[in-house]
Amino acid sequence: MKKIRTFMDLCKIKIALLSAYSAAAGFALSPFHDRAHLIPLITGVFFLACSGCALNQYQERDIDAIMERTRHRPLPSGRINPLHALLFSTVLMVSGFFLLLFASGLIPSVLGMCAIVWYNGLYTRLKKKSAFAVIPGAMTGVVPPAIGWTAGGGMLSDPQLLLLCFFFFIWQVPHFWLLIVNHGDEYKEAGLPSLTEVFTRTQLGRIIFIWIISTSVSCLFLSASGIIHASLINYSLFGVSLSLALYGSETFRKGDPHYSLVFNVINLYMFVVLALLSIDRFLI
């Protein structure tokens, strides 16, 4: 049981589940989806996300050993041999790719591999050089809903998909920057560029606030695009987005906020939005 838990930690299971959940939402919103393909889709995306996370921990095992937040992870703590972690990641990658290929088609499977190349090949390297690496890195997060959408028969060029991906992109920036603000000193100690070296804490608060408001507004674009069919979902999206904007305004107006709480709130917001998007088609 302990070994299973260790491999779950290696895969960053919460992130992998969010990726699968995002793909399910994209699939549910797609115009021609067949529900029989849903389980293979989310399983394939889950495997690929687990693979990317495990490979990321393999790549950053030396840096993880320095930071307090990450030094207890499976590789720096010695609970998993690096070679075993690399093999495990490879098996998951191959399994996820072929599962998507045979169950969902060429485009979803290629998108999945592109996400790993972008995340592990570009972002993981770029964040060692730039404090702003999260902006191009956020492109990885738009891939799961695009995989779901194309697996459901939608076109990559569909404006509705582009707005959906835009929402996921915008949300990820404050999500990651809030994480960095909470652990900026550890990043500096590990030799990684940190936004806390570029901006003061007050300036960072203002920037993050702008991104939070942008997240709320980008969600409202989804309703305006016609991708949502149930009136109840449109009203609910408006309600939760307005609530996030009001929360952000009140929190940052007071000065230096509790960034850990803001981080949890914006993650909860995404979870609620995904739930609403996923059930839209069941309400019409």
Distance (Å) of CA 95 to CA 99, 110, 160, 248, 279: 6, 13, 30, 41, 28
* DSSP letter string, 125-141: HHTTT-TTTHHHHGGGG
pLDDT at res. 184: 66
Please tell me the distance from the alpha carbon of residue 89 to that of residue 99, in angstroms, as a whole number: 15
Distance (Å) of CA 169 to CA 82, 147, 173, 219, 257: 31, 15, 7, 11, 24
Evaluate whether 195 touches 181 at the Cβ level (below 8 Å).
yes
Taken in order 276, 33, 109, 160, the sign of the CA dihedral is negative
In sequence order, the 6+-apart residues with CB closer than 8 A to the CB of 83 are: none
Phi, psi of 228, rounded to the nearest 5 degrees: -95, 135
pLDDT at res. 284: 56
DSSP secondary structure letter of residue 169: H
Let me know the angle formed at the C-alpha of 157 by 154 and 162, rounded to the nearest 5 degrees.
90
Evaluate whether 183 touches 61 at the Cβ level (below 8 Å).
no
Per CATH, the homologous superfamily of domain 1-154 is UbiA prenyltransferase (1.10.357.140)
Helix (H) / strand (E) element for 274: namely: helix 259-279
Q: Domains of the chain: which residue ranges?
A: 1-154, 157-284
Per-10-residue mean pLDDT for the chain, 284 residues long? Answer: 86 94 93 82 97 95 86 91 96 97 95 96 90 89 95 92 95 88 72 80 87 95 87 93 92 78 93 91 66
Amino acid, res. 164: L
Evaluate whether 29 touches 72 at the Cβ level (below 8 Å).
no
pTM: 0.92
In sequence order, the 6+-apart residues with CB closer than 8 A to the CB of 150 are: 30, 104, 105, 107, 108, 111, 156
Please tell me the distance from the alpha carbon of residue 76 to that of residue 152, in angstroms, as a whole number: 40
33 three-state secondary structure: coil
pLDDT at res. 58: 96
pLDDT at res. 283: 64
pLDDT at res. 203: 85
